[in-house]
């Protein structure tokens, strides 16, 4: 039996494929390579196809004995989702519906969903626990919320067991140096700092220096991508052991301001960032921080790689060689 990994040629998907292969799972990657890269698929079978086509999705379930689905494939640029919400609802919502329909037809019962802290919207309390109200403030977050909202209905009516994993900021790269973050355009802080230090991102700027935080810059929760990947394997194993559906945050429960991340990057690389400040971006909140208590107690998950300097060291190693 195989695990179908949509978006397995992308950043988080490829790291998860690697963890699955290490544990001897057979893996089928389903990816249209729109933002992913063939070179990032560390093994298994790659099916180049598009989730927006129900026929292409059905076809993969006919060809392979799929036991469970991990659904990473999505678009995720918040700014673009404001400008073109239709694109986001089609890519993130219609694609998920196609996948769920094909799963029902093929009687596949286990589903691990890549959700996001964006489902919470403006935090009402920190750290954010899973019971926090869901009030997404952009179409990207809304598209994730809508999929999450459907899943309990599929569980009740069709016995689909799922784990929705709400990621905070994925960061870092495979400690063995084989995989890393490869987005174009890159919108995430750590790769943008590192690309700037490599002379490949001259326009790098810090968005906002007037947040109500100690140094005025926004605080975020960074989780190492391999810690994230391992949580998916744990979630899959819980479902296979007969445990019920769950919603779980994945963060490190530690917050760093943008300036703290920049200082850590300077320390790791021995280079200096030339600091420029720009205005806050719409919708950016001062602090986003996960409670990871549920991931620890329910999945038995532990932070192993999510120390900030280690995150930057692994990302730096990747960017130096790619």
Ligand X SMILES: NC(=O)c1ccc[n+]([C@@H]2O[C@H](COP(=O)([O-])OP(=O)(O)OC[C@H]3O[C@@H](n4cnc5c(N)ncnc54)[C@H](O)[C@@H]3O)[C@@H](O)[C@H]2O)c1
By CB under 6 A, name the binding residues for ligand X: 6-7, 9-13, 31-36, 50-52, 72-74, 76, 91, 95, 114, 116, 167, 169-170, 183
Instruction: Closer to ligand X by CB, 9 or 219: give it.
Output: 9
| 140 assigned to active site | yes
DSSP state of 129: P
Instruction: Closer to ligand X by CB, 7 or 208: give it.
Output: 7
Separation between Cα atoms, residue 287 and residue 134, nearest integer Å: 16
**Is the link from the previous residue into 127 a cis peptide, with omega within 30 of 0?**
yes
Q: Of these residues, 25, 110, 140, 154, which one is catalytic?
A: 140
Beta-ladder partners of 114: 165
CB of 222 to ligand X, least distance (A): 9
Closest CA to 149 of 103, 113, 124, 122: 113
Instruction: Closer to ligand X by CB, 52 or 272: give it.
Output: 52
Give the DSSP letter string of 201-242.
-TT--EE-S-SSSTTSS-EEEEEEHHHHHHHHHHHHHHHHTT
- In this structure, are residues 242 and 319 in contact, taking their beta carbons and an 8 Å threshold? no
User: CB neighbours of 314 closer than 8 A, spacing ≥ 6?
Assistant: 172, 173, 174, 175, 177, 180, 224, 305
Instruction: Closer to ligand X by CB, 13 or 127: give it.
Output: 13
Catalytic residue positions?
Answer: 140
């Amino acid at each position: 039996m195989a695990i179908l990994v949509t978006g397995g040629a992308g950043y988080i998907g490829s790291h998860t494929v690697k963890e699955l292969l290490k544990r001897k799972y057979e893996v089928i990657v389903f990816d249209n390579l729109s933002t992913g890269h063939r070179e990032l698929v560390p093994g298994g079978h790659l099916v180049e196809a598009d989730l927006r086509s129900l026929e292409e999705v059905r076809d993969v379930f006919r060809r392979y004995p799929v036991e469970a689905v991990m659904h990473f494939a999505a678009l995720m640029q918040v700014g673009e989702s404001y400008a073109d919400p239709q694109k986001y609802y089609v890519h993130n919502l219609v694609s998920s519906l196609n996948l769920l329909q094909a799963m029902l037809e093929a009687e596949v019962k286990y589903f691990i969903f890549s959700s996001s802290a964006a489902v919470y919207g403006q935090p009402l309390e920190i750290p954010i626990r899973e019971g926090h109200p869901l009030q997404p403030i952009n179409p990207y977050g809304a598209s994730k919320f809508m999929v999450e909202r459907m899943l309990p209905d599929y569980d009740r009516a069709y016995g689909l067991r799922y784990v929705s994993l709400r990621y905070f900021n994925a960061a870092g790269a495979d400690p063995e140096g084989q995989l890393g973050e490869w987005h174009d355009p890159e919108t995430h802080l750590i790769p943008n700092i590192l690309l700037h230090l490599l002379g490949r991102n001259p326009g790098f700027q810090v968005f906002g220096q007037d947040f109500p935080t100690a140094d005025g810059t926004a605080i975020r929760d960074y989780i190492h991508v391999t810690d994230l990947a391992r949580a998916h394997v744990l979630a899959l194993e819980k479902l296979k052991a007969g445990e019920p559906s769950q919603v779980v945050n994945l963060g490190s429960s530690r917050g760093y301001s943008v300036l703290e991340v920049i200082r850590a990057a300077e320390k790791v690389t021995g280079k200096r960032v030339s600091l420029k400040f720009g205005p806050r971006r719409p919708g950016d909140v001062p602090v986003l921080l996960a409670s990871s208590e549920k991931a620890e107690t329910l999945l038995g998950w532990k932070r192993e790689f999510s120390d900030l300097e280690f995150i930057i060291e692994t990302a730096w190693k990747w960017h130096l060689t790619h």
